Every structure is written in C-alpha cells, then in structure tokens.
C-alpha cells in the first residue's frame, strides 16, 4: 500500500453533506462563541497553515490519542471521553450544528480531554505525524446512497490511505453503519488499505461493542427498521 501525502488546497472531494442546518438556538450560539476557541486545534485549517506544518502535539500531555470522525451530536464522543480520562480525544465534524451540540455536552459532562476540528478530517490527516492515533471511530458516516456518489464515501482509498498513515501499527478502527451496501464497500476497501477485519463470528458484527453508547442516529435507524452493523478492523503492523 502507498500512503498519500498532504492534499493540495481545494482538492478534497467532500465525503460529508451539509455544513449548516437549522438556525442555532441562543445557547448553542453561545457555546460556539464561548467554548469552541479553547478546544479548537490551531494549525489544522489549510487557510491558517498553508505549508501544512506538522501539528504541535503538546496538548496530548503524553496520553494516548483517539479520534472520532463525524461525531454527529457528540454523545458517543463525550461518553468515551468520560470513560477514558487518561486518553486525549480529537473530534472532527464539519456540521456546525453538531459542533454546537457537542460543546454543550462537554460543558455538562465536565470532561476536559477533548479537542476539536470543526471541519474536514483530511485537513487533520495532513498535519498529524505518522502512527500517532491509537483508536479511531467512524460511526454512521454519510451513506451517499446514490451509486454515482459512492466515491464520496469515507471507505475509499482517498480517505483510507491517509487514515492508515496516521494510525499506529495495531490501532483499532471501528465503523458503525446501518447501510448494507456501505458494509459491502467497507469490507471490500478497508482490508485493501492495510487493515484486518476482526470478526470470527456473526455476533462480532451484529452486536455492539461493550463500551458502545447508542447514538441518536442509530435510534432513528432502529425505529425505521434498519439493522446496525459494527465492524472492527486492526491497522496492519507493517
């Protein structure tokens, strides 16, 4: 497998949908204005770091780094951060309404081990050192259901190659989705990108992880009769 380097400015193909939703509530707007600045990672956006200088990782304080990509409303990210206080988390989410919801949850939960990039995770990939992320969550990513849009999914080489580079050898990648064709594409593309699927029985992809917190999106999927799949991969040690 060949890892890719930084992407030229403006060359990313979106694997996410909208960036803004309904008008923010006053408390959500206040959270963005008061809390985001202290948690937002500096030097990730291409505009503020066009040379793609590697990120200063002093904020880790020697702790392991876990990454959640597309955290939605943030309930799973806050749950993990509360359960693993000795881990530093980075959450990436381009949907600003989701960022506002997460900030409120962080304040209410009192967790202090989360940092944020409110944008495209591939901008973060550009500036992370090799092998620094020890666990990654990709939970209910945008399904891009139309066939012509499948190349925008997050389980494509354009996305998986830089992800492979920033993950540590042996790191765990968790993918949750309720879209059968997304499962098919993940099982086809993720192993080719240098990951091993960790499943010896059907229960290992039908049953959620022991530390799983069901998200609002998953509850909606269950109400509408869709079946969640929980895929666990391990990054190759080579």
* DSSP sequence for 55-78: PP-GGGTT--EEEEES-TTSHHHH
Catalytic center residues: 142
Structure tokens at 152: 């925008």
Q: For position 22, what pLDDT does the model report? A: 60
Strand duo 229-235 + 167-177: pairing: antiparallel
What is the distance between the terminal CA atoms of the chain, rounded to a whole angstrom? Answer: 10
**Domains, the chain, ranges and CATH?**
26-45+60-235 (3.40.50.150)
Are 230 and 173 in contact by the 8 Å Cβ rule? The answer is no
DSSP labels for 105-156?
HHHHHT---EEEE-S-HHHHHHHSPTT-EEEEEEES-----SGGGGGGSSSS
pLDDT at 25: 73
CA-CA distances (angstroms) from residue 97 to 19, 107, 109, 118, 235? 8, 16, 19, 10, 32
The verdict on pTM exceeding 0.75 is yes
Say what the pLDDT of residue 161 is. Answer: 96
- Cα-only R_g, the chain: 17
CB atoms within 10 A of CB 137: 21
Decide: 111 and 78 in contact? Cβ < 8 Å. yes
Residue 217 buriedness (CB in 10 A; 0-12 / 13-18 / 19+) = middle
What's the number of CA atoms in the CB half-sphere (13 Å) around residue 72? 18
**pLDDT per residue of the chain (238 residues) written in tens, 0 to 9:** 334 444 444 455 454 445 555 666 777 787 788 889 899 999 999 899 999 999 999 999 999 999 999 998 999 999 999 999 999 999 999 988 999 999 999 999 999 999 999 999 999 999 999 999 999 999 999 887 788 878 889 999 999 999 999 999 999 999 999 999 999 999 999 999 999 999 989 999 999 999 999 999 999 999 999 999 999 999 998 7
């Amino acid at each position: 497998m060949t890892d890719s380097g930084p992407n030229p400015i403006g060359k990313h193909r979106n694997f996410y949908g909208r960036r803004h939703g309904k008008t923010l509530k006053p408390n959500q707007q206040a959270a963005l204005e008061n809390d985001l600045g202290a948690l937002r990672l500096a030097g990730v956006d291409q505009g503020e770091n066009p040379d793609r200088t590697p990120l200063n990782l002093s904020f880790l304080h020697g702790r392991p780094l876990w990454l959640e990509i597309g955290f939605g409303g943030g309930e799973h990210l806050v749950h993990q951060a509360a359960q693993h206080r000795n881990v530093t988390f980075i959450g990436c989410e381009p949907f600003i309404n989701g960022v506002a919801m997460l900030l409120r949850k962080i304040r209410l939960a009192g967790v202090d081990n989360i940092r944020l990039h409110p944008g495209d995770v591939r901008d973060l990939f550009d500036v992370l050192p090799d092998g620094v992320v020890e666990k990654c969550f990709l939970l209910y990513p945008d399904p891009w259901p139309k066939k012509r849009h499948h190349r925008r999914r997050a389980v494509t080489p354009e996305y998986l190659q830089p992800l492979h580079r920033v993950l540590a050898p042996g790191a765990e990648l968790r993918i949750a989705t309720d879209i059968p064709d997304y499962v098919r594409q993940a099982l086809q593309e993720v192993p080719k990108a240098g990951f091993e699927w960790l499943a010896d029985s059907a229960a290992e992809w039908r049953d959620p992880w022991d530390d799983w917190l069901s998200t609002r999106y998953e509850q909606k999927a269950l109400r509408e009769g869709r079946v969640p799949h929980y895929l666990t991969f391990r990054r190759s040690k080579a």
